[in-house]
A = this chain, B = another copy of it.
Amino acid sequence: MIHDQRFGLQRHVALPGPLLLDGGGRLSPVEIAYETYGALRPDGGNAVLVCHALTGDQHVASEHPRTGKPGWWTRMVGEGKPIDPSRHFVICANVLGSCMGSSGPASADPAGTGPYAMAFPVITIRDMVRAQAMLLDHLGVGTLAAVVGGSMGGMQALSWAATFPDRVRSCVVIASTARHSAQNIAFHEVGRQAIMADPKWRGGDYYAAGDQPAAGLAVARMAAHITYLSEAGLTEKFGRRLQARPDNPTGAKSFGFDADFQVESYLRHQGIQFVDRFDANSYLYITRALDYFDLAEEHGGRLADAFRGTATRFCLVSFDTDWLYPTAESRRIVQALNAAGAAASFVELSSPYGHDAFLLDTPGLYRVVDGFLKAAA
């Protein structure tokens, strides 16, 4: 445990490594910031690893030290919730490449005098998973009762099951995919270009100036944010409603370029908030890891071969309005699991919220995961 003046008390470990990376490099040390909730049973059988999404963090069920907001998945993790610290030993680690304490581009480069910046190696989802396995070794956790994640967290869960099948008894994959599609890559590329086009990016070396490419990062977040919501959800939430402002109290069209529409104001707010809590280079690295993700490719091109002979039980959940990782992607995984003879349950839930449904008040979701975890235990 360390005490960082900016972030308050948090768990952190610097493992010597080296971690051998898919890109060919080696990472040493491997710093991992994480949180745990509950206690490991003497038989070690109650560990649950929760994996976070692109811009998530280890604070799954406790206050975020920078924003002061509650944990990002308190609907899933907590007293009386599907993942319950009174029964489970819950672990959530900041992913490699991120900016909440785990090794990433903002970390000190042991070969240099400052942060890695773009000298940080490009990492993959599997590299993130391997770093988590090192953390579990450190914590004395052998086998996971479950690995659970939504979106990029679901990709890590799949990668866990494929990479360490003997260490995963059950695997919950929500609103996710086994590969990034051309459209997924395209949206991320827009975000990366927005960041790299910002003169403040300076080839990634903006840490000394203490002035990150906030404008570019905000645009990247805005573009991505559209993909997290459904068209119907946007229409319901904002439609074409206009935004009242101090200089425009009736919310009429301004015939100018201020945020006349509520949806414009909302998006700008999302962009501005995001840059206060996230590092632009981390956004580059993690989107790259997502775009590189193709589980079938890692197994000779056949997705089923990622799961041959596995004893892991799988639970997949998709949402009908999720157009980022639509139901067809989950179905494809289920078909591969079936072909591999793995035990898999799958449900498509109805939600107005699009991809973001996995984080929101989607009652069916928590019931499904609760039932699956109880049946698996």
Q: Which residues of A contact B (CB under 8 A)?
A: 22-25, 118, 121-122, 179-183, 185-187, 189-190, 192-194, 196-199, 215-216, 218-219, 222-223, 226, 231, 234-235, 237-240, 253, 255-257, 259, 261, 263-264, 267-268, 271, 284, 288, 291-292, 294, 297, 323
Contacts and interface: CB of A to CB of B under 8 A. Distances in A.
Contacts of A22: 255
A222 B22 CA distance: 30
B284 A226 contact: no
Nearest to A265: B189
Contact of A223 (B196, B215, B223, B294): B223
Given A183-B231, A255-B23, A294-B240, A194 B192 contact: no
Contacts of A190: 219, 222-223, 226, 267
Contacts of A264: 185-186, 189
Nearest to A225: B186
A222 B193 contact: yes
Contact of A197 (B185, B218, B323): B218
A238, A257, A297 pick with most chain B CB within 10 angstroms: A257
B197 A219 contact: yes
Contacts of A263: 182, 185-186, 189
Chain copies in the assembled complex: 2
7 contacts: A23-B255, A121-B255, A122-B257, A189-B222, A197-B215, A197-B219, A257-B284
A24 B252 CA distance: 13
A84 to B, nearest CB: 38
A185 B240 contact: yes
Contacts of A297: 240
A327 to B, nearest CB: 13
A121, A226, A239 pick with most chain B CB within 10 angstroms: A226
Contact of A181 (B183, B189, B231): B231
A268 B192 CA distance: 11
A199 B190 CA distance: 18
A193 to B, nearest CB: 5
A15 B261 CA distance: 34
B192 A267 contact: no
Contact of A234 (B186, B197, B216): B186
A182 to B, nearest CB: 4
